Structure 1
């Protein structure tokens, strides 16, 4: 008698694989993220430094690594070198000298035919108060709150790309002097500095002009003594 051969297919059921919608797209996204993560940091900095400001503001939210790279002095220097000059506009209500709105006009074409208008302060958790724009330096902005006769005002140095700022408190108890500020960068020491000058009022013309310097990161003002200005 011949023996019957049992086949493996007898009595067995085929398993069906169920594809979940969107599984292929999610896996491809994960693969692309892995590929980007494998790129050298120097290459990522080189790529990001060629993007316009609006794209930079979006890229900083991608991951902590990119946010850290955008804080790197190498990235800041490359982006400043490769970016065209842009316009910084402070919208001020009629008959006022301070406001809470600051616009960045990013010029895409030289003839202004293509441009982007970016409202900066939605990206910064900035105090809801009126301020004056002093100037900008290497992508940083220096502003100060309008004191409206108060004895203490605050100067702000902020990075609109990272959405960060620091407060520099200023106190002037002598009403005989008017305060004026300036903001700049020292290439020799690689430090940002705020200059505060005290000009005497018209009634006290015999008093000398005084000046102080605040180096960002030190937390204190340093007096540089008397200074003379030719009028």
Structure 2
């Protein structure tokens, strides 16, 4: 019994050391994400660096606990097979963005949306801006890329249709934010779901009601913004 207790104590110490080691890798991960938000060239390397941190942290933790290389490779392979379908979905999502951007479809969407906004009421116009961003979010997940595409067009349009620029920016923020966690073309969402046992259909079924609530609340706040001429500009 004494030997069993001794083994338990040793195992607990090893698990504690492994947890601390993996926790350090998570801290490094947080540091890298923070740097990527302020250093431009790191932004494109964020996901590979995240994978490297998690893989190295898991490897060190496994070696601390005495896991053999063969068993470790078996665990890694099993985990990879679990997320392999998500890799195909990510490639499909990125291909949609490539086709829309390089095929000139984005320019057509912006052109006809701009023509539709002219001559409409401010309330309808702000909904069109919101709907435009929701649609573009399906193809372009990057906030900065969407802002680069549409804000030079939306800013002067807002002046022409009687909507303050702050209200137009608010519509952009609403359209860009909440939809990230439901669109199947968002690679980050697919990666996160691939790391869990939750499939996208199950996730969609659970979150679409929350998205509808967010949609209704966003429209209400946009109408309030138009009514009170939100912002000084």
TM class by smaller structure: under 0.3
| TM-score (norm: length of structure 2) | 0.25
Q: Which of the two has greater strand per residue?
A: 1
Q: Which of the two has greater helix per residue?
A: 2
| TM-score (norm: length of structure 1) | 0.25
